[in-house]
Amino acid sequence: MNRLVLRAKLVERAALRYTPAGLPALDVGLEHESEVTQEGQPRKIRFEIRARGIGRITERLAALELGSEHGFGGFLGAQRNGRGIVFHVTELD
C-alpha cells in the first residue's frame, strides 16, 4: 500500500499550471518537524518534501497561507526525471 499522512507546514508554493490533460496542478514545498521514539530513544525529525496537487485539490492548496500547518494525505510517486520522490496530495484537513 502506498499511503502517506503527514502534518506539515506549507513553506513554498509555485504558480498554478495545467497538465497536458488540462487538469490544474500545483507544486508546493512542505516542512515536517516532530519527535518520535525509535528503539526506546527519542529522535527529532525534520525534513522538507516536494508535494503536488492535481485536480480539485489545487484550489484548496492555493488558498492556504504560507507558514500555516495542516494535515496532508496522499501517496508517493517518482518525479518526472525519475530521481527522487514527490508527495501527491489528495486530501487536506
Q: Name the residue type at position 71.
A: G
Instruction: Give residue limits of the domains in the chain.
Output: 4-92
- CATH no. of 4-92: 2.40.50.140
Does the predicted model carry a pTM greater than 0.75? yes
Q: 31-60: per-residue pLDDT in tens?
A: 999 999 999 999 999 999 999 999 999 999
* Residue spans of beta strands (DSSP E) within the chain: 4-13, 17-18, 24-38, 41-54, 69-78, 85-92
Region of 59 (left: φ > 0; alpha: ψ -120 to 50; beta: rest) is alpha
Place of cell 501527491: 88
pLDDT at 80: 80
